[in-house]
Amino acid sequence: MAKFVYRFSEGNADMRNLLGGKGANLAEMTRLGMPIPQGFTITTEACNDYYSKGEKIDEAIVEEIMHALRDLESLSGKTFGGGDNPLLLSVRSGARASMPGMMNTILNLGMNDGVVATLADKTGNPRFAYDSYRRFIQMFSDVVMEVPNASFERVLDRIKEEKGAKYDTDLDAEDLLAVIAGFKSLYREAIHEDFPSDPYSQLIAAVQAVFRSWNTERAIYYRRMNDIPSNWGTAVNVQMMVFGNMGDTSGTGVAFTRDPATGEKKMFGEYLINAQGEDVVAGIRTPRPIAVLEQDMPDIYKQFIDKAMQLEQHYRDMQDMEFTIENGRLYFLQTRNGKRTAAAALKIAVDLVDEGLLSEKEALLKVEPKQLDQLLHPSFDSEAIKAATPIGTALPASPGSAAGKIYFTAEDAKAAHKRGERVILVRLETSPEDIEGMALSEGILTARGGRTSHAAVVARGMGTCCVAGCGEAEIDERKKTLDLNGHHFAEGDFLSLDGTTGNIYAGDLPTVPAVITGDFGRFMGWADQYRQLQVRTNADTPYDAMTAIRFGAEGIGLSRTEHMFFNEERIPKMQEMILAGDKAARCAALERLLPYQRDDFIGIYEAMQERPVTVRLLDPPLHEFLPKEEAAFVQLAKDMDVSVAELKARAQRLHEFNPMMGHRGCRLCITYPEIAEMQVRAIMEAAIAVQKTKSCKIVPEIMIPLVGDIKEFRYVAGIIRRTADQIIAEAGVQMKYLVGTMIEVPRAALTADKIAEEADFFSFGTNDLTQMTLGFSRDDAGAFLDDYYKKQIYDSDPFSRIDVDGVGQLIHMAVEKGRAVRPSIKLGVCGEHGGDPASVAFFHEAGVQYVSCSPFRVPIARLAAAQAAITVG
Amino acid sequence: MAKFVYRFSEGNADMRNLLGGKGANLAEMTRLGMPIPQGFTITTEACNDYYSKGEKIDEAIVEEIMHALRDLESLSGKTFGGGDNPLLLSVRSGARASMPGMMNTILNLGMNDGVVATLADKTGNPRFAYDSYRRFIQMFSDVVMEVPNASFERVLDRIKEEKGAKYDTDLDAEDLLAVIAGFKSLYREAIHEDFPSDPYSQLIAAVQAVFRSWNTERAIYYRRMNDIPSNWGTAVNVQMMVFGNMGDTSGTGVAFTRDPATGEKKMFGEYLINAQGEDVVAGIRTPRPIAVLEQDMPDIYKQFIDKAMQLEQHYRDMQDMEFTIENGRLYFLQTRNGKRTAAAALKIAVDLVDEGLLSEKEALLKVEPKQLDQLLHPSFDSEAIKAATPIGTALPASPGSAAGKIYFTAEDAKAAHKRGERVILVRLETSPEDIEGMALSEGILTARGGRTSHAAVVARGMGTCCVAGCGEAEIDERKKTLDLNGHHFAEGDFLSLDGTTGNIYAGDLPTVPAVITGDFGRFMGWADQYRQLQVRTNADTPYDAMTAIRFGAEGIGLSRTEHMFFNEERIPKMQEMILAGDKAARCAALERLLPYQRDDFIGIYEAMQERPVTVRLLDPPLHEFLPKEEAAFVQLAKDMDVSVAELKARAQRLHEFNPMMGHRGCRLCITYPEIAEMQVRAIMEAAIAVQKTKSCKIVPEIMIPLVGDIKEFRYVAGIIRRTADQIIAEAGVQMKYLVGTMIEVPRAALTADKIAEEADFFSFGTNDLTQMTLGFSRDDAGAFLDDYYKKQIYDSDPFSRIDVDGVGQLIHMAVEKGRAVRPSIKLGVCGEHGGDPASVAFFHEAGVQYVSCSPFRVPIARLAAAQAAITVG
């Protein structure tokens, strides 16, 4: 049978998967001879066993726990549940990955009326004993039995008031006896049983409560946000209590070996005399800075600094430590690699390399790629945000912070922007028609759609802050009002959005721009040196292209031509093309669009020069471009010289039941080859022009969307090649170009060998490939994905993190089949997953050459690619 | 280099792929020593070569033709293009599969002014010579040069009028010279060149015209309808002309060795004296029945009967022959297995077995499975249909014939049906709400949607005639009018629909019910004996189930529970369930639905008894059930005691962008487990009740739709098993049941090994699997599929015929992975493809155990399964 319980002396730092992070570090510190209260760890496997048995703890595990407890008794010379030297325990969760504050802790376990009396007597400090007891009752009731903590606080407040006490510490032993009596009767009322006096029952109940805490809603949510699988489970650490609340030679504190906000190499932390752990963070008494400890307890301070440095050297990373001083004796309660801001992470990584503690490769693994995003966007002023209370929260769809006046249509947003106002665009949901308004806004708030909704994807692409899918928001676009949890806003009222947390604030919070320190460049240089994957960007405008180059993009992996048609001047011409009554009229409208499109590509090629640029031919269903307002129809009918009724009838014929799987992608080129001809002309003429003016060598990459059959590819590629060859010949220049395809329809992956016979490159469109392989539309998935997380069917959003088992299988298949037929084929990824670190690791393993992501994710992808190269090889 | 031209003496019947059907048969007849005019065949590969070279005929092929022509000259002792015994040719298409009337024929080729003079002189029959010449000019101009035939007919009519002639045969040689002159000048006007006098140019132009005729729109359409791949190409047969128009000892005719309408063993056909081929079918002179030939030319008749019988014995099938008598000498021009009605096909197959000519297995291969459909539906009276002219045509979506008064809403249709009227339901498109009205209608006409649209699928399921996607029809559902090609219809006007051809007629054509002859049963008995695949049916009602059993279904492969909710009494309860404000209200509404659903299953189990029945849990997105009319909302709000605004807001929240990939299938059960609980209760209680009353052993098969992940399956299967076990325990009975899943999301196929660990069976839902694998919605594909056929990207509709390379690959994968993990797993197919013969052959090869199709396709599937077993083994 498996071993489910390990004494601290039986483990080490490498056993993190089994013992959890905290357990493994306690074992490691034991190995290092650090002063820690001894104890044992119940493994993560025991947690999984608990769930697999229908939330029951196995008898064999209980027995193992009892063995370990007896060993602890003999090690400590104390007795659990009685005797003249009673053993008290802390019971704490500890998962593989740190989930700070997500799970449960119970302190002072093992107390009852007998034990507390002995303790009072033995320590000669009854106040301490009763204080510990009342804390235990309160914590056990809250954490194990789910009696609301607030009711205990009310009892405490009542007695404090009766006694005229300001702080808990003002209560004396007798007062605390009253508190204990009050807590016990409160427990009895709530649970209809007496507070359990048997310490063994307390212990097993506490262990089970920790296991249960693995599956609270907030734990599930945290795991999803941080890509932690639900089957990892949590370990439970049972540790002998030491007491910081035994008087003025006792105390407790937390400290970091470096500043977690800036990374500065300077001990950072705080402590309280005569207190237990939660008092430091509870904010009732103000803790003192760690440096003051040098005056308070010089010996202890020196000892602490020595040990802390020893830990940092040993773990070769900044440490976040908890410690307790019991009657003048220092104990470390835990240590872990400390959480830090992105700026601190970079500085610490670079410093540790300079200090010779880490190699460059090791340093690259110390920074969480997603964190880099913080460095690229403005954020709220830290003082202002501390003072503010969110009035609502929704999905953090695109990071950064923004404040401005709210407007409810893209038109109004544009007008306000012209007047020089900062704008927050508030919409039920956005559509491609809103793009210009979105681009001019500081931030975007939507009521519908998820983290991969149109608003979210476009906002991330633009680097614009976006909070999406705020179901609580009642938005009346006609009346131009927003109601959110009792707060009412009209057009022009101020609103502030935090796209990093999803928080929404009333009013105009001040923001500060991001500062990129010199460490950033140096660190990213290392990343570029070790990564094998190239990183391109998805960019539709010269502005996006320039931003992405600044962030290190090596090319454009996806330029979506459709976004180019949405400005005021162009959209009517696009609409005339779409609603043309015959081919001649359509060609005439295309002829008028050509100069715009050519200018777009000239701008992009001027920005990118010799860097590769992949342009995708028109992809979305044509009805996305149709006018929505009556007035626009009337004007268009006039311009086109047809009746409004006729025009509406034509528009109506474009209606689709499932537009995502409708008349779009290469299907458009097959029905209307003239659209592809115009687009290819624009691309090639632009490339030829820029090649000449910039004296650089351009190799256009033209990409066909939504191919599912080699015959589709062949037909459209034929149009592209004929058109391109003719333009090259007319211009009398030398120019190579590539014709490739998106792999985004499952059938394209299944028949990649056939398609590779004629395609120069594949680019995996993982958004659509995920939609079709899993069979759900990302726009509609919001209705059930929450239930999928709650019921643990999905651990993460498959539109954020690639589904390795399903979609990944198709990608592997396409890579193999494609390479088998055409070993030189270029393989890339241009879906949103290109900016997700876990997905980037998968793409590295799958053997594609590049990933492409929105400009603001380029640094993330560069680091993720380096980490994949270092860890996978 | 490949050989592109075969003399008739170089081939045989087995070379059909290379020589086409006609060419292979001409070679075979040559081998048999039948009297046929000699010649040669230009292969189907030459046709493909012609297209691969951009519609150019290769010089080497031209040379081969010239060689073969010179051999023909020496064989016949005639000279092409001159000399005193001129060789004239017929040039005819001949594909691998018979495509009657789809492609081109040119007779009398090789004529010019010189040749015609020689011919007039040599035969002493100038009238014959000039008649042949004018026919050639007319045919060549029409078929090769695309000068409309009607203009030639006008010249002919003018001269007939001038001469007071009634028939062509009333014109004498001199009149015909005038006709020739008129034809030549008509040609010059149209083409701006003289009519070509060089016979070699005529020949090569004619060969190319035959190649081109392979890709006319009607040929492409015919191929698609008959599953003929576009890369087969057509052969060209060049054959020495013999003349039936040389006077009263000459003639021409067509004959079948058995009656193609009834199958009766009796020579059937007709002939004309002094005529060429097209005169027999042109209908200007009335041909004589073949039996009369016995009096006209007794020797020839005897000879013909002998040879015809010899051919039938040789081919062991009913023969369709063309023959010509030239100056008292009989020639066969071609023979082929004759087209026949379904009834004839069955009788002939059964008779040939009884005559010892065919084995049962061979006979089974002689009948086209799709034809059986004809035997199961009413059809128009054959006299009435001859007299009627269609006013329009659209997709033959569900076979049979129907006539009745038109109504534009399901409500109106129901009311009219109550009044005892026969109803034709006319809709822009149908939705599930229309089902009751559809079921009460004789026929259905829709303006939108393809052969797999809602209307088509449901109509086929019901066996109701349906003509779908009539784009020409202007339907105003509000005004209740239909305008079709200039014909105007108001509510209550009569309309007749032919669902087998897609033709639409004005007025009330009489129909006759189908008669199933005794041969049918015997023949299907053989099919059942040899097939390995089981055939189940898709049935949602006891009525469907009974129909399917009559047609030989062995079980139900798919019972769609959602269709059960659409009647007047139930839909409001369903709507209350969907729009419930909380779980309690939803459970209460479900409780009210339970008795209905249980009664449905009782009816189905009573019909099916011990036959297996697979019930699928609720699948469609809930908004499909919502009220559409304001009045319905108001009533519902009153019943539910909530405001109309609140109710509409709830309904609005159910809106989806891509409902096909939205909140449906197992996702519903995951969000609302109570729905699955109610359905499982209904199924199990019904099964237990019927098991008791009928004393039979029922094993319910419960199927979860739209599973893409084992965790989805596990969650829903858990609900099903808990509920079912509880009901079985409560009832105190013994009952086994199976829990399985649809494989219809690509990811389910990709991860079938994981799903098979817990699923008792897989049922391939090939409709959705095709949609998601190919990435297009069948409801929206109409907008581009036509272009796909025209541009030869698709040969057939992937929703009718399984896409073997893409979808088939996933099916193979799922079968392998599923069986590897669970060798006993039950595998079936429940998509529309289960009734398509080519797809059934694929499923046989793929190794599934059963297919399931709509009741009227059951006989087709049975025969197709037998054919697959016989040919594949």
Strands A534-538 and A556-560 come out as parallel
In the structure encoding, which two tokens stand for residue A25, read together? 């570090």
List B residues 714-733 in contact with A (Cβ-Cβ < 8 A).
715
Could you read off the pLDDT of A450-493 as tens digits, one per residue?
Answer: 665 778 867 876 778 899 889 889 999 889 999 999 999 999 99
Q: Which residue of A has its CA nearest to B655?
A: A780
Secondary structure class of A610 (helix, strand, coil): coil
Sign of CA dihedral A431, A437, A438, A441: negative
Q: What is the DSSP letter of B337?
A: E
CA atoms within 13 A on the CB side of B597: 30
pLDDT of residue A63: 96
Q: Under an 8 A CB cutoff, do B659 and A657 touch?
A: yes
A-chain residues near B751 (CB < 8 A): 805-806, 809
Q: Under an 8 A CB cutoff, do B779 and A657 touch?
A: yes
Could you read off the pLDDT of A729-743 as tens digits, one per residue?
Answer: 999 999 999 999 999
Of A661, A715, A787, the CB nearest to B776: A661
Q: Which residue of B has its CA nearest to A711?
A: B793
Which residue has 């020579």 as its token pair? Answer: B267
A419 touches chain B (CB under 8 A): no
B432 touches chain A (CB under 8 A): no
CB atoms within 10 A of CB B508: 15
Q: What is the mean pLDDT of chain A?
A: 92
The percent of residues above 90 in pLDDT, for chain B, comes to: 70
Mutation target among B709, B715, B742, B770 for the A interface, most CBs of A within 10 A: B709
Question: What is the spatial distance between Cα A19 and Cα A6, in angstroms, rounded to a whole number?
Answer: 8
pLDDT of residue A709: 97
B-chain residues near A712 (CB < 8 A): 793
In the structure encoding, which two tokens stand for residue B34, read together? 């039948």
Question: What is the spatial distance between Cα B772 and Cα B806, in angstroms, rounded to a whole number?
Answer: 11
Could you read off the pLDDT of B624-651 as tens digits, one per residue?
Answer: 899 888 888 999 999 999 999 889 888 8
B-chain residues near A806 (CB < 8 A): 708-709, 746-747, 750-751
| Cβ contact B90:B236 at 8 Å | no
Residue A40 main-chain phi, psi, to 5 deg: -150, 165
Does the annotation count A666 as an active-site position?
Answer: no
Q: Under an 8 A CB cutoff, do A745 and B780 touch?
A: no
B787 touches chain A (CB under 8 A): yes
Question: What is the spatial distance between Cα A783 and Cα B654, in angstroms, rounded to a whole number?
Answer: 8
* Neighbour-count burial of A426, counting CB atoms closer than 10 A to its CB (0-12 exposed, 13-18 middle, 19+ buried): buried
Angle between helices A630-640 and A644-653 (to 10 degrees): 110
Question: What is the spatial distance between Cα B701 and Cα B608, in angstroms, rounded to a whole number?
Answer: 13
Question: What is the spatial distance between Cα A279 and Cα A276, in angstroms, rounded to a whole number?
Answer: 6
Which residue has 């440096």 as its token pair? Answer: A291
Residue A127 CB contacts under 8 Å (≥ 6 apart), including other chains: A172, A173, A176
Angle between helices B149-163 and B173-191 (to 10 degrees): 150
Question: What is the spatial distance between Cα B637 and Cα B626, in angstroms, rounded to a whole number?
Answer: 12
Question: What is the spatial distance between Cα B752 and Cα B750, in angstroms, rounded to a whole number?
Answer: 6
Length in residues, chain B: 873
Residue B706 gets the label, from left (phi > 0), alpha (psi -120 to 50) or beta, of left
Q: Under an 8 A CB cutoff, do B751 and A779 touch?
A: no
Write down the catalytic residue from B830, B833, B844, B853: B830
A299 touches chain B (CB under 8 A): no
Write down the catalytic residue from B377, B454, B563, B844: B454
Question: What is the spatial distance between Cα A478 and Cα B357, in angstroms, rounded to a whole number?
Answer: 80
Could you read off the pLDDT of B737-795 as tens digits, one per residue?
Answer: 999 999 999 999 999 999 999 999 999 999 999 999 999 998 888 889 889 988 889 98
**Inter-chain CB pairs, A–B, below 8 Å:** 170
Q: Which residue of B has its CA nearest to A744?
A: B775
B788 touches chain A (CB under 8 A): yes
| Cβ contact B114:B157 at 8 Å | no
Q: Alpha carbon of B497 to those of A150, B371, B379, B398, B471: distances in Å? A: 75, 19, 10, 10, 15
Of A671, A750, A805, the CB nearest to B806: A750
User: Closest by alpha carbon to B347, among B483, B119, B521?
Assistant: B521
Given a cut of 80, is residue B1 above it in pLDDT?
no
B51 touches chain A (CB under 8 A): no
Could you read off the pLDDT of B438-459 as tens digits, one per residue?
Answer: 888 999 999 987 665 778 867 8
Of A711, A768, A791, the CB nearest to B715: A791
Residues in chain A with pLDDT values less than 70: 1, 100-102, 278, 280-285, 432, 450-452, 457, 461, 513-517
Could you read off the pLDDT of A159-172 as tens digits, one per residue?
Answer: 989 988 887 778 88
B-chain residues near A771 (CB < 8 A): 661
Question: What is the spatial distance between Cα B6 and Cα B17, in angstroms, rounded to a whole number?
Answer: 13
Beta-bridge mates of residue A231:
none
Q: Under an 8 A CB cutoff, do B670 and A787 touch?
A: yes
Q: Name the minimum distance, in Å, from the CA of A767 to any CA of chain B.
A: 13
Q: Name the minimum distance, in Å, from the CA of B233 to any CA of chain A.
A: 17
Q: Which of A573-577, B69-73, B220-224, B336-340 has the highest mean pLDDT?
A: B69-73
Question: What is the spatial distance between Cα A65 and Cα A210, in angstroms, rounded to a whole number?
Answer: 15
Q: What is the DSSP letter of B465?
A: E
A663 touches chain B (CB under 8 A): yes
Q: Under an 8 A CB cutoff, do A793 and B768 touch?
A: no
Could you read off the pLDDT of B473-492 as tens digits, one per residue?
Answer: 999 988 999 999 999 999 99
B452 touches chain A (CB under 8 A): no
Could you read off the pLDDT of A575-599 as tens digits, one per residue?
Answer: 999 999 899 999 999 999 999 999 9
pLDDT of residue B227: 76
Of A771, A780, A788, the CB nearest to B670: A788
In the structure encoding, which two tokens stand for residue B784, read together? 């581009």
| Cβ contact B285:B272 at 8 Å | yes
Secondary structure class of A575 (helix, strand, coil): helix
Determine the Cα angle at B867 with ends B862 and B869, to 5°.
95
B645 CA to centre of own chain? 49
- Give the H or E element holding residue B790: helix B782-790
Q: What is the DSSP letter of B339?
A: P
Question: What is the spatial distance between Cα B289 and Cα A390, in angstroms, rounded to a whole number?
Answer: 95
Q: What is the DSSP letter of A195?
A: P
Q: Under an 8 A CB cutoff, do B662 and A780 touch?
A: yes
A806 touches chain B (CB under 8 A): yes
Q: Under an 8 A CB cutoff, do B787 and A671 touch?
A: yes
Strands A556-560 and B392-393 come out as unpaired
Predicted TM-score (pTM) of this structure: 0.83
Band of the pLDDT at B140, cuts 50, 70, 90? very high
Q: Alpha carbon of A773 to those of A453, A711, A767, A810, B819: distances in Å? A: 18, 22, 10, 9, 22
Q: Under an 8 A CB cutoff, do A660 and B659 touch?
A: no
DSSP A344-369: HHHHHHHHHHHTTSS-HHHHHHTS-G
CB atoms within 10 A of CB A231: 11
SS (H, E, C) B27-68: HHHHHCCCCCCCEEEECHHHHHHHHHCCCCCCHHHHHHHHHH
Mutation target among A429, A660, A712 for the B interface, most CBs of B within 10 A: A660
Residue B148 CB contacts under 8 Å (≥ 6 apart), including other chains: B142
Question: What is the rounded radius of gyration, in angstroms, for the C-alpha atoms of chain A?
Answer: 32
Beta-bridge mates of residue B396:
B467
Write down the catalytic residue from A377, A417, A454, A563: A454
Biggest distance spanned by C-alpha atoms of chain B? 102
Q: What is the mean pLDDT of chain B?
A: 92
- b/e burial code for range B404-435 (CB count within 10 A of at least 16 → b): bbbbbbbebbbebbeeeebbbbbbebbebbbb
User: Closest by alpha carbon to A89, among A207, A5, A188, A246?
Assistant: A207
User: Closest by alpha carbon to A801, among A772, A829, A777, A834?
Assistant: A834
Q: Which residue of B has its CA nearest to A746?
A: B773
Residue B753 CB contacts under 8 Å (≥ 6 apart), including other chains: B817, B818, B820, B821
Strands A401-407 and A395-398 come out as unpaired
Which residue type sits at B268? F
DSSP B449-460: --TTSHHHHHHH
Q: Which residue of A has its CA nearest to B656?
A: A780
Q: Under an 8 A CB cutoff, do B775 and A768 touch?
A: yes
Q: Alpha carbon of A242 to those of A70, A87, A103, A270: distances in Å? A: 18, 10, 21, 18
